[in-house]
Chain A
């Protein structure tokens, strides 16, 4: 249910085929879980529409990609507003995924840095990271990469000024107020605190991504290396 006083989400063109719909306040950099439930509900509803090619959920927003050029912006916007008014928020818990992590050591080389930055001991930092429950808000950026909500604010560390040229897939990473797992080996400006052996993206599987929006994630301490 949408509260009647809540403002309609803001829609804007992103090219002739797509419309970006933003549910969050334009000024807010934080992400709201209730709004994200609405994003998931709207995404499911709009993806089933015959005129829609694909819906890409983002952080409190969604990109609706239509099959054809959208000549009439008002009509496309009305379709999205209709989904906002009528699609039920999807608060389903999804699956619960446990991600075993080897913290520290050569594959978690920033652990001392993030612990020092936050004023926590290595052990405290790891335990807080592993105690929290994270929600998969959306996938994007690289195949199977999950935007997770739920990082303990005490664990936040600003991203590196200069990204590393190469960070291995499976790296468990912290960037600002976000936690994630690198799904592919790429350049990355986030801090590396450990490594998991789980594969976040396997194109040979019917469901290629380890994580899906709505899933909850818990990191499990497999080992702590000096």
Chain B
């Protein structure tokens, strides 16, 4: 059992989300950074989709009421366990009464805490994720509050305590691990600009040629109005050849919509299941998690690709997770 001693800005129960209910108007929900939650679970020997906590911009405190094992992943955050510094991308055993505190977030936005066995939250429509709009899932369909208590799934105790291990490969910036592009795009101050790969969609051809070029040539900036529903981008207005009213149609997470303002919106985990704005492109699935860690005001670039590219990205993504899983399994033999 754990207690949310300080819930912080926005903390919720999430797993990898609710698929195949969009025809009822029920969206994906789930961890915005699915890679971070998956890796945290792998570090504990859990299935990747065990339910954990998504903590937005740190400033939270969790008190363990029972002995368990935890992993911390995602944003680069100043963390302590009983006031002793705790590394990010780190897994270890904790005892009842110990306190995990997350302070300032230095890079990224969202941290994930996974627990051995996962949070014991009854699945609704196949998932434990909090659907804030639907008011179900997680704990009573809402963000967590100070004093909330959550049960953990029962697991046999570890033969030996996990005294702590980390994943140095993940400890660069939260999204930098995937930047093995030959020529990363950097800003003047040499920070790497995150890249997301997109496919053209139904209204791609409604963009003028100049607008198509602008989409990929622009360093976009994340608007402060971005959240779990969508990422609004600030930059040049994209001109279109024509404007027609669209009948409402189903949309997937990752669609890049162009509302009348001419500034793109990327629909994310809590986004609508249907919409009527033109869809100019879609973010390749393997890159969707990047948006979880983009702060307001930070840059992001689009690179246009095709389905072969998307398949290659997915394969690389899966191989990355498989490698992490193997590394964790080997490490866990020390105490399992």
Contact = CB atoms under 8 A, between A and B. Distances in A.
Interface in A46-101: 53-63, 65, 69-71, 73
A69 B314 CA distance: 9
Contact of A139 (B20, B24, B199, B311): B24
Interface stretch (B89-97, B188-196, B272-280, B327-335): B272-280
B248 A141 contact: yes
Interface of A: 12-18, 20, 22, 24, 26-29, 31, 43, 53-63, 65, 69-71, 73, 138-145, 147, 183-184, 186, 201, 203, 208-209
B249 A203 contact: no
A17 B24 contact: no
Interface string B272-303: 11110001001111000000000000000000
A172 B308 CA distance: 47
In order of increasing CB-CB distance, the 6 nearest A-B pairs are: A140-B274, A56-B250, A63-B250, A58-B249, A15-B282, A59-B247
15 contacts: A14-B252, A15-B252, A20-B202, A29-B245, A54-B21, A54-B23, A59-B247, A61-B247, A61-B249, A61-B250, A69-B314, A139-B23, A141-B272, A143-B24, A144-B24
B167 interface: no
Given A16-B307, A57-B23, A142 B252 contact: no
A26 to B, nearest CB: 7
Contacts of A56: 22-23, 250, 273-274
Contacts of A71: 307-308, 311
A145 B23 CA distance: 10
A18 to B, nearest CB: 5
Contact of A16 (B124, B244, B310): B310
A27 B25 contact: no
Interface of B: 19-26, 124-125, 131, 133-137, 199-202, 244-245, 247-252, 254-255, 272-275, 279, 282-285, 307-308, 310-311, 314
Contact of A70 (B24, B133, B307): B307
A63 B201 CA distance: 13
A58 B252 contact: no
Given A70-B307, A71-B307, A145 B25 contact: yes
Contacts of B201: 12-15
Contact of B282 (A14, A24, A59, A203): A14
Interface core residue of A15, A53, A139 (most chain B CB under 10 Å): A15
A142 B25 contact: yes
